[in-house]
Amino acid sequence: MTAKYRVRSKETSDRYRAWRKQNPEIDSLFHKEKIKNWEYWYLSKNDFPYDLLAEKHDLLIPKRLFGELGDATEKELGELALIKKQLSPIYEVFLETSVDLSRSIKRHYHLHCIFFKDKIGQ
């Protein structure tokens, strides 16, 4: 079977697979390189970005561990809405991947904050 690289380059995909193999039990996101902190959330550099499509790709991660947005508290949701408003001039898309199909870290909800490389129609 030929490998498909849908969102990550081969190099980034290989690095991510190697990291997952070395860390099979990791099911939460606590990145060291934080870009910005809020009370309930933080923005982190993504070590394994979707580099085939993204010029900029960071992660918005809750400080409290939960798997689904529906598990967030009212305060976490309120702050998330404010953060998205603050970050919308910087990122084009806030992407939530499917828990069942594509999210590799299932127990720790997170949003992919993306600014695309190319613009359609330009």
Poorest-pLDDT segment among 5-14, 16-25, 26-35, 106-115? 26-35
Can you give the residue range of the structural domain that contains 106?
Answer: 10-24+37-116
Q: Which of 50, 51, 75, 49 is nearest to 63 (CA)?
A: 75
Q: What is the pTM of this model?
A: 0.81
CATH code for the domain in which residue 78 is found: 3.30.428.10
Does residue 1 lie in a domain region? no
| Domains in the chain, number | 1
pLDDT, tens only, 76-103:
999 999 999 999 999 999 998 765 545 5
Does residue 93 lie in a domain region? yes
Q: How do strand 54-62 and strand 34-37 relate by DSSP bridges?
A: unpaired
> What is the reported pLDDT for 1?
38
Does residue 108 lie in a domain region? yes
